[in-house]
Amino acid sequence: MLVAMEGSVGYGIGGARVELEIGYERFKTKGIRDSGSKEDEADTVYLLAKELAYDVVTGQTDNLAAALAKTSGKDFVQFAKAVEISNSTIGDKVCRTRYDTAKKDHYAKYAKTTDKGSASKNDTSLCGDIGHSTVTSGHSTTPQVLKNFISATLGNGSQNWPTSTGTGSSTNDNAEAVAKDLTKLTTEEKTIVAGLLAKTIEGGEVVEIRAVSSTSVMVNACYDLLSEGLGVVPYACVGLGGNFVGVVDGTRCTIRPSLTLYAHSK
């Protein structure tokens, strides 16, 4: 449904005049019912995502890594546990350890610190790390994934986040590795992850929108182009004003300036 109104008042002096023009439009929101694809007029609920969720959905790896690095280890652990409960197949794609081509099926094994100093050590505290080429024992025979990373490396989140410890660690390396894995997920999986990030770490704002309104206010300066000997007097106007766009029954409002130039006859 569209509701629109417009009106103007003005004052003329000779061939010039000033008008104040006000217009109003209201646009009802439409949504799609779960039972089908039919679009109906209805109140619509939106989740306004914040930084982490937005970066996941849009695949912005560097921004996501930076945002995760600012997240506490405790909060990240809560998120990881929520992933495991909600959709464990997503967790199987995150922090998945690998093996060196020289040692097939000798996967890196999560531990509190990275230690690959001998053939019997293949411990890592880095998300998605690769096993070393000379290992003969102390490894995992299957890939370790997010849940193993949490239980063996992060614990309650007080260590190894956002940076691993031990040999070869670099600043924020775990946050960067997690970000790379999350942005490689499918679109559907990213949507799930974004929702879990909003629930467990940064929250989100839920807004119910019934309709969107637009109120325009314009001040027009007009002048008669010709006035003598004519039954119809053409004139031109130039206007300056703005549109006030807002959510009906809501609290959000943005102002968009505009400049209008038009000519018509009366």
Whether 64 has a pLDDT exceeding 80, the answer reads yes
**Same-domain check for residues 132 and 182:** yes
pLDDT confidence of 56, banded at 50, 70, 90? very high
CA atoms within 13 A on the CB side of 99: 18
How far is the C-alpha of 129 from the C-alpha of 68, rounded, in Å?
Answer: 18
Q: Is residue 41 part of a domain?
A: no
What pLDDT is attached to residue 14? 75
All residues at 6 or more sequence positions from 175 whose CB lies less than 8 Å from its CB, including other chains: 65, 66, 68, 69, 71, 161, 162, 163
Q: Is residue 38 part of a domain?
A: no
**Coil, helix or strand at residue 131:** coil
Q: Is residue 97 part of a domain?
A: yes
Whether 262 has a pLDDT exceeding 50, the answer reads no
Q: Is residue 185 part of a domain?
A: yes
What pLDDT is attached to residue 162? 98
Q: Is residue 44 part of a domain?
A: no
Whether 141 has a pLDDT exceeding 80, the answer reads yes
**Same-domain check for residues 61 and 155:** yes
Q: Is residue 39 part of a domain?
A: no
What pLDDT is attached to residue 260? 43
What pLDDT is attached to residue 136? 78
Q: Exposure of 137 by Cβ count < 10 A (0-12 exposed, 13-18 middle, 19+ buried)?
A: exposed
Q: Is residue 168 part of a domain?
A: yes
**Same-domain check for residues 186 and 219:** no
Are the CB atoms for 96 and 177 separated by under 8 Å?
no
**Same-domain check for residues 13 and 89:** no
pLDDT confidence of 181, banded at 50, 70, 90? very high
Whether 83 has a pLDDT exceeding 60, the answer reads yes
pLDDT averaged over every residue in the chain: 82
Q: Is residue 45 part of a domain?
A: no
Whether 258 has a pLDDT exceeding 50, the answer reads no
**Same-domain check for residues 196 and 88:** yes
pLDDT confidence of 210, banded at 50, 70, 90? confident
- For residue 22, give its domain range: 2-31+209-224+236-265
